Amino acid sequence: MATLDKDRLSKSLQERLTRLRDRFAVFNIFVQKEINRGNYIEALSLYHSLTLGSIADALRIRYSPFHHDFKTRYIQYELPKEVIEKLENLYFVRDRKDLEEKYREATEWFKEMMAKP
């Protein structure tokens, strides 16, 4: 049986958070860019993959570090109920206006998470 190297895991997770923060800073704006162009299908796809994908990864690292690379697989079982409810609300988009509102809300949530130690 392999033993867990906690220091190595911690370092790996910190590096992942840095990459998430950097990727988000560079590419998340593409969602708004496509909304501005009226390319809502592309905007929604980017919103799910970049914005919400980054949030899911950050939440995994915070609440379920041993499964940090599981993306959304089993996420509803491993995160607090109130976090899942907020995440579910952001995933289900009704229309173009709702996309814009949820994009802003999700962007702020990610920034708040990254500001916390």
Boundaries of every domain in the chain: 21-112
Question: In whole angstroms, what is the distance from residue 70 CA to residue 64 CA?
Answer: 9
pLDDT by residue (tens digit) across 5-57? 888 999 999 999 999 999 999 999 999 999 999 999 999 999 999 999 999 99
pLDDT by residue (tens digit) across 70-109? 999 999 999 999 999 999 999 999 999 999 999 999 999 9
- The confidence score (pLDDT) of residue 5 equals 81
Dihedral over alpha carbons 98, 100, 104, 106 (to 10 degrees)? 60
Question: In whole angstroms, what is the distance from residue 60 CA to residue 69 CA?
Answer: 8
- The pTM (predicted TM-score) of the whole model is 0.92
